[in-house]
Structure 1
Amino acid sequence: MRNPNSLEEVAEIQSLLTDIKKEYNDGIRAVLEKNHPNLFRNVHTVPKLKKIHINRGLGLSAQNTNILKKSIQEFSLITGQKPIITRAKKAIAGFKIREEMELGLTTTLRGEKMYAFLTKLIFFTFAQIRDFRGLSVRSFDKAGNYTLGLKEQLIFPEIDYEDVDQVQGFSITLVFSASNPKTRSRTFDRVLNGMILLKFLRFPLKDCGYYEKYTSLPEVNQVWDKKRHLRRKRWSQE
């Protein structure tokens, strides 16, 4: 394991802070191709961050004009981009929801804004979370994208504590792009690609070390299949 206080470690973090997009193109992508030739034989199979979705559900509170305007202002400060108001697609009488009713906010970051938000998220925002112990690798979905939830907006440096009337969180989804060959098009391979890239980007995943004791991918795949079988067996008994 590398020493977090070594000069190489400090230099690597500084390069990421300077320009995370340039560091990926000039450094991380080349290292992935060199160190994992069996996984990334083609440059198009190397995982890449495509976009970041940020969502906030307000529910019936969105009918309050002041709450909605405040949320839009917070979104604009945090992401540097004005959000889109999400509306109900159909009416649900039991939840008092009408069709086209305003329910929340969403925004999609690409390009420079995406990398700027990612740098802030990794190196500044997570450090402000109380008793933060890392993020779980189980938050990957079947497409290999990673979703995490933040409980409050106060952890972002742009938000002033005195200006916050109500504590509200976010849902953040990192969408990855990688063209896997047909031999590696399973969910396991998509998750593995995203996990490798996030570790290189210094994303604080806490339970990646669990799989370091296995020497090959087939062994890890067997463990995943075993867990899936046990889970199905437990469901069938309930």
Structure 2
Amino acid sequence: MTRLEKIYNEKVVPELAKEFGYKSSMQIPRFKSISLNIGLGEASQNHKLIDEAVDDLTRIACQKAVITRAKKSIAAFKLREGQPVGCRVTLRRDTMWDFYDKLVNFSLPRVRDFRGIPDRGFDGRGNFTLGLKEHSIFPEIDIDKVDSVKGMNVTIVTTATSDKESKMLLTLLGMPFKK
């Protein structure tokens, strides 16, 4: 059991149960998974970018990243069906908790001019998506070896049924939302 998982069980669960009045412990929102995604539109011309992105995402997530491919051909973007366009990885269990801990307590404070995360990333069903402009905020990435800065999306999938429950869960687990 990870450090953050212990905090969830000891402090967050009772706080959520008290706030929303859940009758069953199965109603209490929890994390299902965290999905990381790097989209590289310019990778259709340069395959080296995909390999770099897969290596970087694998180092960040501590789990092998998978290449995502185009579903349709789009002539305006010089894109054919099946061409690589990015990479992704889905984290569960201990690796999910470790990644969230690293994201909130170490990586986000390293963002230049950081004033908090806007809370408009909720989807209405209790999931939260966060866009990062630089993947180099993670400690696993050696900034000197980075050829091009890549953005990435972090999607936190929860069992919460509303955005209010999900925001409360993330806030209690240390997500630094803007005031």
Partner of 1:204 in structure 2? 176
Unaligned runs of 5+ residues in structure 2 are: none
Cα distance per residue 1:41-98 (max 9 Å; x no partner): 2212211111011111111325423211111110111000111111111111222111
C-alpha contact (below 8 Å) 1:151/1:170 kept by paired residues: yes
C-alpha contact (below 8 Å) 2:44/2:79 kept by paired residues: no
Aligned match for 1:76, one of 58, 64, 71: 58
Unaligned runs of 5+ residues in structure 1 are: 1-17, 181-189, 208-238
Partner of 1:176 in structure 2? 158
Aligned length: 178
CA separation in 1, counterparts of 2:80 and 2:30? 39
Q: 1:112 to 1:63 in 2, by over 3 A?
A: farther
CA separation in 1, counterparts of 2:12 and 2:154? 23
1:13-162 aligned at under 5 Å gives the runs: 19-33=3-17, 35-38=18-21, 40-162=22-144
Higher relative contact order (CA 8 A, sep 6+): 2
When the two chains are superposed, the root-mean-square deviation of aligned CA atoms in Å is 1.5
CA separation in 1, counterparts of 2:114 and 2:73? 39
Cα distance per residue 1:176-212 (max 9 Å; x no partner): 113x5xxxxxxxxx101101101100110113xxxxx
Q: Which has the higher helix share?
A: 1
Secondary structure (helix, strand or coil) at the match of 1:154 reads: helix
Give how far 1:161 is off.
1.3
Q: Which runs of 4+ in 1 moved over 4 A?
A: none
Q: Report the TM-score, using the length of structure 1 for normalisation.
A: 0.71
CA separation in 1, counterparts of 2:119 and 2:85? 29
Percent of pairs identical after alignment? 40
Give how far 1:37 is off.
5.0
